[in-house]
Amino acid sequence: MTLHITKTAIARWHQMLEQRDMAILNELLADDVVFRSPVAYQPYAGKQVVFFILTNVIQAFENFSYHREFYAADGNNVVLEFSAQVGDKKLKGIDMIRFNDQGQIIDFEVMIRPKSGLEALAAEMGQRMTQFMPT
């Protein structure tokens, strides 16, 4: 039962990216979602900051494309393999996403390689993060 809910949520995730409809992202994020950045040691917690981060990452990536999806046996965890570009730097990465039983994202961890692509993303996101002022 949970796998069906997770696959539906992943379909919504892809729809959100294709349509650039951030209202879908807002629906998909649980209030207590945690984002684990490939750059920052400490995770970011809470819907407001995670919404800001993911919205800005989507804007920062060029030529973004998912290639493969892997579903864990528990039905709540998915790994999505992607490639993208930031400026002239190409990168590959994975999104490791954990969903709750309601199909909302509760944990989102990103890993990126190579170092040059990660550094380009870190510089771009560093500038964008200065705009975020938690209330």
- 70 in a structural domain: yes
At 88-109, the pLDDT tens digits run 999 999 999 999 999 999 999 9
Instruction: Give me the percent of the chain exceeding a pLDDT of 90.
Output: 88
- 134 in a structural domain: no
State the residue range of the domain holding 111. Answer: 2-129
At 107-122, the pLDDT tens digits run 999 999 999 999 999 9
What's the confidence (pLDDT) of residue 133?
Answer: 55
Domain holding 59: CATH number?
3.10.450.50
> pLDDT band for position 73 (50/70/90)?
very high
How many domains, in total, are found in the chain? 1
Q: Which of 83, 78, 66, 82 is nearest to 105 (CA)?
A: 78
Strands of the sheet containing 77-86, edge to edge, are 44-45, 29-36, 105-113, 89-99, 77-86, 62-71
Rounded distance between C-alpha atoms, residue 59 and residue 54, angstroms: 9
- 109 in a structural domain: yes
According to DSSP, the residues that pair with 110 across neighbouring strands are 95
> pLDDT band for position 134 (50/70/90)?
low
At 31-67, the pLDDT tens digits run 999 999 998 889 999 999 999 999 999 999 999 999 9
Cis, peptide link before residue 38, omega less than 30° from 0: no
Handedness of CA 25, 30, 34, 36 (dihedral sign): negative
Helix, coil or strand: residue 91 = strand
Which region holds residue 20: left if phi is over 0, alpha if psi is between -120 and 50, else beta? Answer: left
According to DSSP, the residues that pair with 86 across neighbouring strands are 89
Tokens found for residue 13: 């995730």
- 135 in a structural domain: no
Helix, coil or strand: residue 105 = strand
